[in-house]
Every structure is written in C-alpha cells, then in structure tokens.
Structure 1
Amino acid sequence: SEQTPLLPQQQNVERKRQTTGATLVLMSPIIMFFVFMIVSRLCDAYDRAGPALDRDRMRREWESEMRDHEKIRQERIRARFAWDDLKGDQHCLQHGMRRYTARIANVPREYDPATACTETAVEIHGMRIPSPNRCEDRGCGGVIGHWLVSHSEPTCATHFDNFKDKESFMSRDDCYPRIESHLENLQPGDDWRNMCSTTPANFWGLHFDGPGVCEDWVCCPF
C-alpha cells in the first residue's frame, strides 16, 4: 500500500519526537547515575547516623527505666511510714471539732521527715484523712502531725435549746428582738467562748452560724 506523504508541519513534529526520544536515550545513563549517587549518599548517611540514633534511643529507654525504678523505690519507702501515738486533745477546740496529734515514724535517714509527714494519711473514726492540717518539726522530738477532726465527735457537739424572747435591742434605725438560749453539752474544761461562738442555731425558720454575743452567767449564792 502507498504511504501518504507527510506535510511539512507533521514532518517537524516527527523530527522533534525523534530528537526528544534520542535525547532521553542518551541521558538515561546519566539520570540513573545521579539517582544511584543520591541513594548511595542517603544510605551512607543512615549508616553513619544509625549508631548515634541507637545510642540516643537506648539512653532514653535507660532514663525511663531509672525513673520507673526510683518511683517504685519511693513508693516502697512511703508504704512503711506510720503514725505513732495518735491521740486527741482532752478538750474540744470548737463546736464539733477536736485536735489530734501523732508523730511520724519509720522514716529512713535519707528521707525528709517533714515531707513524710505531709505525704502520709491517717484514719480517725473510720475516715481516711490524706494528710495533716499542718506538720510541726520538734527537732529531737520528731515531726508531729496535727489534724482538726470535725466528724464523729459527739462530746464536742454543743447546741442551743429553749430559746427565749427577751427585751428588744434598739439600734439607731431598727429594733431587733433579743433571743437567749443556754448552751448545752458544754464539757468541763472546754473553752466556753470558742464553743459558744461557733455553735450554730436554728429558730423561727432562720439559721445562724453562731450567736451575736456569748455571756458566761455565773450563779453566786446570796
């Protein structure tokens, strides 16, 4: 069959295609050479950095293991802490509250006893208290923990009863009723001022955190 002769424009396109193909054929070895060189350099860089990266990873793992080990060691030390001679004060501190004290014990020499005091829980009246209200360093007497316990202290539960409406109290602008009541359940030796001023009261549908005035009426024989 006869071939149709190419037009001049088609001949130019064909020549460019042939030229481009020949150029790519000639440049292929050069391109492959550069690709090989780049890959080789990357491999060499990885081989050189590999040991350093491994050492850094091993160092981080070792540091993490040491931190975990130290944490476990500290927990074992704290687990041995104990409170010695836990006791409550003879008298109430205020309404419903008594102070308790104890000395922190079983603290090794390398551990700060004041820190041990703040980190050690105690159980009083069946309730776990995470830490003392304060820690007192008494030197050779050890470190003493102080707790202010306001639960399950029935002998400190003072209350008011039998409210009496007395004469009104006059101020500059208003007239206020004067209500009196006797403080009940006050134990001998307790500070009546603290116990009275912190004892709440409820009457006439109102709540009061404490009286406005506390007075100690001492009855003297005539």
Structure 2
Amino acid sequence: MGDEKPCSPSEADPLIRPRRSYRRYQSSCVYVAIALFFITFTIVNFSISLSKDPLDPDVRERIRKDWNIELRRHEEEVLKHIEIKKRWLLEDKEHEREVEEKRKHEEEERLRLNMFWTDLTSHRCTSYATREYTARLVNVPSYYNRRVEACMATPVTIHGVEYTPKWCEDHGPNNVVGHWEVDQHQPDCAPYWTWYKDFGCISPGSGQRRIEHYLEHLPSGADWKEFCATTPASFLGMHFVGSEFCFQWNGGTYGHWVFDDASCN
C-alpha cells in the first residue's frame, strides 16, 4: 500500500534484488528497536525517579504514612517495656514483703522461745583495735531447724554495745556458736608506730622518698603482717591506713612507706 517498505522480505520481492538493499531494511529495523528500547528505559527511569522525589506530594504522603507506622511500632514497644518494668517492680516488692514477713515471724518465734547467749569469751586480736569474741546460743529447741538464722539475728552486748554475729557455727541444738569481731574499746589490740627514720630519696632523680617506722606494742601471738598492714600512721602531713611494706628484723616488726617527694627530683 502506497510507497511503504516492509521491514522483512516478502514473496513478491524479486529474487534477483541486490542483497545490499535487504540489509539496509534490516539495519533500519534494528535501529528502530534500539531507539524504542532507550525511549522506554528513559521513561521507566523517569517514572521511578518521580516516585522517589521527596518534593512530590504523593511521595511525601507515602513517607509520612511510613513514619506514622514506625512511630506507632515504637510507642507499642515503649509501652510494652513500661508494663514489663511495672511487673518486675511489683514482683520485687512482693518478694521483699515476703522476706520481711518471714523475718518478723522468725524474730517473734525466737523471742517466744527466749533464746539467749551464754559463755561470752574474748579471744586473740585479729587486726588493729579488733578482737574476736565467741558465745553459745542456748534455749534452742531440738526441733528448731533455723538455728543459724536465729544465731545471726540474736545480738549480744559487749562493752555496752550490741553486736550481731559475723558468722555462726551449728554443732547441734545445744551447741550453736556465734563469732564476733569487735573493733571498739579494744586498747590491748592497738599497737602504734615509733622510731621514725627518714632514709632519704630512693635514688637521685627518682622523685620518691622512703620512711621507716617500728611497730610498738604488738599483741602477743598476733599476726604481725596483719597488724603492720592495718595500724594507721601519720607523718609529714600525710595519713596512711597501714604500712605499704612490712618486714621483721631481730624480733621486731618494721613498716616502710615510699611516697612522692619533689625534692628528690
């Protein structure tokens, strides 16, 4: 029809038509197809870019909806965590209430049974100004199965002050022993430092000085290392809870301190 030329040969085409003319038609079809492909690709990409344009009203509305969904999810998670925390707090309070009720019940039972201490005995000094004491808890029924708890809850009066045991030993209904370490009113357990000696700088440019003290009035049979490390000392405007280094020489106990001194630089 008209002068249009088909993109492929037909039966009406002469068999002797030159091959160059057929190839020209075929190349034209390829070029058209490539052009259509690029046009289609450009249109699709342009549409996608429009769908992602933050200035586009539809895109902004979609983003706003996504944000609202995420916000609701976050609020739900926050509410869930708040509820879990409330439940934990209630459980903790219930546990504390049960523990307190049990303690009161045991205290009432202990008082009803009239348990008390006897044979209070002082022992060796354990550390600076501290002495060990023991006593035996009596009037404990043979059926009573919370003897250690009763021991730990029963105070004893030592030098006018009430103390509860530091630990207890259960050797049977009539042999529950409490142990105390009392750090008040124990002058026999309080040695002191004497014979102050300044050894000078450790070495030239060290920036440190060494001081030595002798430990006087060490309790008989006491652990000299423990008392050396816990007997406080004060000198040159400084205070220490005990010696930094301890040693014994010729039957005596000595403490050494090493501290910064600018005059040794």
Q: Please classify the TM superposition score into its range, dividing by the shorter chain length.
A: 0.5 to 0.7
TM-score of the two chains, using structure 1 as the length reference: 0.59
Partner of 1:162: 195
Q: Is the 8 A contact 2:142 2:173 kept in 1?
A: no
Q: 2:247 is aligned with what amino acid?
A: E
Give the percent of matched residue pairs that are identical in Structure 1 and Structure 2.
40
* Deviation, structure 1 residue 115: 1.8
Between Structure 1 and Structure 2, how many residues are aligned? 148
Shift of 1:78: 4.8
Shift of 1:141: 7.0
Q: Is residue 207 from structure 1 mapped to residue 261 from structure 2 by the alignment? A: no
**CA offset at residue 154 of structure 1?**
0.4
Q: Is the 1:78–1:120 contact (alpha carbons within 8 Å) kept by the matching residues of 2? A: no
Question: How much has 1:163 moved relative to structure 2?
Answer: 1.7
Q: Is the 1:200–1:208 contact (alpha carbons within 8 Å) kept by the matching residues of 2? A: yes
Deviation at 1:188, TM superposition (A): 2.1
1:149 aligned to 2:182? yes
Q: Which runs of 5+ in 1 are unaligned?
A: 1-66
Q: Distance in 2 between matches of 1:72 and 1:156?
A: 36
Give the letter for the 2:240 counterpart.
F
Structure whose CA Rg is larger: 2
Q: Output one character per residue of 1:101-158: Cα deviation in whole Å (capped at 9) or x when no partner.
A: 11111112332221210121100111011x2111122347722111110000001011
Corresponding residue for 1:105? 138
Equivalent residue runs for 1:44-123 within 5 Å: 74-75=108-109, 77-78=111-112, 80-89=114-123, 91-111=124-144, 112-123=146-157
Q: Is contact 1:107–1:116 with CA below 8 Å preserved after alignment?
A: no
SS in 2 for 1:162: strand
Deviation of 1:161 (Å) = 2.3
| TM-superposition CA deviations, 1:145-181 (whole Å, max 9, x none) | 111100000010111123210143249x833211111
- In the other structure, the counterpart of 1:135 is 168
Could you tell me how far apart the structure 1 residues matched to 2:173 and 2:116 are?
18
CA distance in 1 between partners of 2:195 and 2:170 (Å): 46
Determine which structure has greater relative contact order: mean sequence separation of CA pairs < 8 Å that are 6+ residues apart, divided by chain length. Answer: 1
Q: Which segment is superposed worse, 192-201 or 73-82?
A: 73-82
TM-superposed deviation, 1:193: 1.1
TM-fit CA distance, 1:79: 6.2
Residue 215 of structure 2 corresponds to which residue in structure 1?
A: 183
1:33 corresponds to: none
Quick one: structure 1 residues 99 and 76, their matched pair in 2 at CA, closer, same or farther if it must change by over 3 Å? Answer: closer
The residue aligned with 2:24 is: none
SS of 1:180's equivalent in the other structure is: strand
* Alignment RMSD: 2.7
Alpha-carbon separation, structure 1, partners of 2:246 and 2:154: 39
Separation (CA, whole Å) in 2 of partners of 1:133 and 1:73: 18
Tell me if structure 2 keeps the 8 A contact 1:81–1:106: yes
Q: Would the aligned equivalents of 2:113 and 2:140 in 1 still touch at CA under 8 Å?
A: no
SS in 2 for 1:211: coil
**1:40-66 deviations in Å (ceiling 9; x for gaps):** xxxxxxxxxxxxxxxxxxxxxxxxxxx
Task: Give the SS at the match of 2:243.
Answer: coil
Give the structure-2-normalised TM-score.
Answer: 0.50
Range moving further from structure 2, 140-149 or 193-202: 140-149
The separation in 2 between residues aligned to 1:154 and 1:72, in whole angstroms, is 37
Decide whether aligned partners of structure 1 residues 195 and 78 sit closer, same or farther in structure 2, where only a CA change above 3 A counts: farther
